Amino acid sequence: MDFLVLFLCYLALVLIGVVMICICSKTHHLKGLVRRGEQVISCIVPECLQRAMQRLLHYLFHSRNHTFIILHVVLQGMVYAEYTWEIFDYCQELEFSLDYLLLPYLLLIVNLVFFTLTCATNPGIITKANELFFLQVYEYDEVMFPKNVRCSSCDLRKPARSKHCSVCNWCVHRFDHHCVWVNNCIGAWNTRYFLIYLLTLTASAASMAIVSTAFLVHLVVVSELYQETYIDDLGRFQVMDTVFLIQYLFLTFPRIVFLLGFVMILSFLLGGYLCFVLYLAATNQTTNEWYRGDWAWCQRCPLVARSPSAEPQVYQNIHSHGLWSNLREIFLPANPHYEKKKKYE
């Protein structure tokens, strides 16, 4: 089995794994699989190593730290260094348009600006000072967000669409999720920055994939590699086909082909996630609400009083008011300072 088939099998397994995790995350299957996996690991791995792994995982995913920010910057730096070292120089020799080659760097600058804003901006932390303001922003649906509930950790009244982040240990207005890559919650006040950050990150990966592909295609056309022949395992002359051509390019330019494969996979994964985030923005949902959305659990929810004969209620999104209104809410979120200025006007 040649390397191309192995690479395609590996790519298919990665994509199938990601899709299965996304599907199972909305069901109880994933939790069951995790429990079984933990049982198997506990039988194989020594207890001291298990405790060390638990501490490491708790530090990485259940406490605020800069590990993933550093990893993010290092990976981005490595990809751009490889692009500059290999592809940029070759493309200049082949007289590619300079504007075309500089596009990934322009996207990088914009991406880093919005990455910093996403990391540093207050996501909408609920405090004693702004609690009353946030209580008036959204209507309670009495299914997912019932009235008169206090946060057991913050001892504050919980506004509709808010959630307590166990990692940051604070309640966040219009809580979406906690992102380890920015070491911050994504909430009402930084969702707009997160959207542009994700958009420019996807665009930068896609632009590098396009430039790398254009370079390899141009190289094949200029050198007329597609017209060459090779001798197969049986000693017969064969016309250069696509599979053999890709393998030849991999052996000749291994780092460029590997970079191309990496940014292509990254583009597909980021593009899929970007589509999901844009869908949430267009329908005025958060990741937290989408994840819990198909729980018909007024029947099960201990916070909502109901008689034994009452039928369970299904959650419905009452906050969507049309595409432009939903987008305006994200890019011009409710803010106490903004409201005060508006009143004075």
Q: Which residues are catalytic?
A: 179
The DSSP secondary-structure symbol of 125 reads B
312, HSE (Cβ side, Cα atoms, 13 Å): 12
Q: Which residue stretches of 62-165 are H helix? A: 67-82, 89-93, 98-120, 131-135
Distance in angstroms (rounded) separating the CA atoms of residues 194 and 116: 10
Residue in 92, 78, 8, 331 with CA at minimum distance from that of residue 190: 331
Long-range contacts: 112-118, Cβ < 8 Å, 24+?
114/193, 114/194, 114/196, 114/197, 114/200, 115/72, 115/182, 115/197, 115/201, 117/190, 117/193, 117/197, 118/179, 118/182, 118/184, 118/186, 118/190, 118/193, 118/194, 118/197
Distance in angstroms (rounded) separating the CA atoms of residues 161 and 134: 10
The residues pairing with 150 across neighbouring beta strands, listed in sequence order, are 157
